[in-house]
Structure 1
């Protein structure tokens, strides 16, 4: 009779602990990467009688959660087995929640914990994704400007204003060109002026009778501060693709064809490929490869345990870190994260069972208590 009282108490205690786990699952339904837990109980027995129940194991569910689109290029969903690997000092942690960002030191980290994301560098050595020395592409000064168009033999003069170029200090500046025919000859003088109307280049170009440039007189050298030299090219000898003489009656139509060099260009986008390649995209369209994310190869999820929140730690040993496609059959989906794998319908069902179990155990205690009262009450009469 007294044992029934304690058995009912142990049942209530076990049900209460089971409800704690279920409530934790439900409260983390919207936590990215959260893995729900299941509670298993076992009986407590002696050879002669049962002594109630107790929690035997709290088991983590590792099935894949639903995918949620975020639009953030550094959010990642692992389609397949595997875990993102993080490091904090000498400790390693693992997660399915691929919420990442660049921190103040321009290192790719887990957004919630701030732990560094482990990756392979270009030599396949373990390291981190560090963008600190690749935030922008340095300016490249202009060395060549190419022109195209026609010179009017009727007008005998032509001009081209605001020829943009990249100066030696990285700034964007302008030149002006003035071109005049030498009498009735096939030669034309060229004068190049800077933004302050200082002449920085002069020379002469000549044309054949068919209107194409003569060999040896197709370029003008421009000398700028800090010993920057720019070649102003009017085209190739005999070619119709550069500057040519127009037919009588045609007006001059000089244009800038191409200008090399570029101003400083900061990165405008981060792209992470389905195999984990992290690439910076710059404003001018250039790209820079920062490395490849490392994923932990998982053979048995039972060797992991929850460390804190969405982070897991290894209970024994250290998992191998590999690249996707090299020992790991998975792919990354950018702009998305993995939600929790909590099944709300399942949790509600478990809650109903736990509630009934608690009520039944409570009822056992009530009946045992009534029997004890009757026993001692009867003995008193």
Structure 2
């Protein structure tokens, strides 16, 4: 009968620990990337097969995904499907998480929201590396080398002028050019071209010719000039289009000339204006001129059994010595896709937690009642011996 006390007590202790687990789940219901846990009991059996109550057998991590919430923060990312983000601390230890609340620190490194862990990406050789945009904050200037033109030159016009044509030198300084085309009276399909700067100085000249159908004549579809800008020589090609085609410049028999510049390469120093991630985890860098460049790619890890991972700080896990992660790129070989400007919420289900609370409460009350009944029986036994 005394064993009933200890059996009831083991039940009360077990349910208390189960309540600790539930309370921790509820407390973290709004923690991004948090994965809830479940406590399982097992019976305690003596050598003769008799029962001696229960004890906490195992605490398992729930590996189901939480809901995805859009945040609007450009460096917040979530994994839709399989995988864990790979993080690294200053000591080089690796951690794994589903919480994708990332920011850039003062050193332009992508880190978790606490700033203590570096977010890892994969380089071209599929090796892990920290994501650093220090060299991509400002792109160096690029000198203009090619100017494409498109539109029509009317054979009935004597001349046509395009101005200004902004270009950049190797220092990123902008200059304006003027393109003047003249149609000699003694030639129907020939136009002379003259390039001048904003002071009217002639920088170069040439001529373009057309076939009778208005398409460009081969070897007369481009002119090049070489000039000195900001102390260095610079060659600029004026491309009127492919020969024997009318996809670029063309000559028309009537109407007005409407030849204009198309694509002009080169740029001044470009500042970074925004960052976003595509579904493959590639960082897309947006610059002040509207151009975009691909940056680092997020690394994701998978394990044969995520429940064997050990809990660490916050919503992070560490791998045991006998666990080897598989590192891949998002959206490849069964790995989940990346959803930008979003985070994954906790996978805690309040309905399940409240149901567990009721079960724990009833179990605790029943174990307590067992102790009360055992106490009454022992008291009756003692009272009987007094008589």
Partner of 2:363: 357
Is contact 2:181-2:193 (8 Å) kept? yes
The change in CA–CA distance for 1:191 and 1:352 in structure 2 (over 3 A counts) is: closer
Matched, 1:256 2:256: no
Partner of 2:303: 298
1:12 to partner: Cα distance: 2.6
The change in CA–CA distance for 1:45 and 1:358 in structure 2 (over 3 A counts) is: same
Supply the distance in 2 between the matched residues of 1:301 and 1:245 (Cα, whole angstroms).
70
1:162 to partner: Cα distance: 1.9
1:355 to partner: Cα distance: 0.7
Partner of 2:16: 16
Partner of 2:95: 93
Gaps of 5+ in 2: none
Equivalent residue pairs, number:
372
Is contact 2:194-2:202 (8 Å) kept? no
Partner of 1:221: 225
Q: Which sits farther off after the overlay, 341-350 or 199-208?
A: 199-208
Alignment of 1:67-146 (within 5 A): 67-70=68-71, 74=75, 75-80=77-82, 82-88=83-89, 89-112=91-114, 114-145=116-147
Aligned counterpart in structure 2 of residue 173 of structure 1, from 169, 172, 175? 175
Gaps of 5+ in 1: none
The change in CA–CA distance for 1:225 and 1:301 in structure 2 (over 3 A counts) is: closer
Supply the distance in 2 between the matched residues of 1:349 and 1:218 (Cα, whole angstroms).
78
Supply the distance in 2 between the matched residues of 1:328 and 1:217 (Cα, whole angstroms).
48
The change in CA–CA distance for 1:238 and 1:201 in structure 2 (over 3 A counts) is: farther
The change in CA–CA distance for 1:68 and 1:259 in structure 2 (over 3 A counts) is: closer
1:215 to partner: Cα distance: 7.8
Aligned counterpart in structure 2 of residue 192 of structure 1, from 168, 193, 196? 196
Matched, 1:314 2:315: no
1:37 to partner: Cα distance: 1.5
Is contact 1:93-1:311 (8 Å) kept? yes
Alignment of 1:339-358 (within 5 A): 339-358=345-364
Partner of 1:334: 339
1:178 to partner: Cα distance: 5.9
Q: For the aligned residues, what is the CA RMSD?
A: 4.3
Supply the distance in 2 between the matched residues of 1:185 and 1:221 (Cα, whole angstroms).
26
Is contact 1:206-1:214 (8 Å) kept? no
Supply the distance in 2 between the matched residues of 1:61 and 1:219 (Cα, whole angstroms).
68
Q: What TM-score comes out, normalization by structure 2 length?
A: 0.75
Is contact 1:246-1:252 (8 Å) kept? no
Greater C-alpha Rg: 1
1:305 to partner: Cα distance: 1.7
Deviations for 1:1-36, whole angstroms, at most 9, x for unmatched residues?
A: 555444444433322221111111122223232222
1:149 to partner: Cα distance: 4.8
The change in CA–CA distance for 1:178 and 1:43 in structure 2 (over 3 A counts) is: closer
Is contact 2:146-2:239 (8 Å) kept? no
Partner of 1:29: 29
Matched, 1:287 2:293: yes
Alignment of 1:262-277 (within 5 A): 262-267=267-272, 268-274=274-280, 276-277=281-282
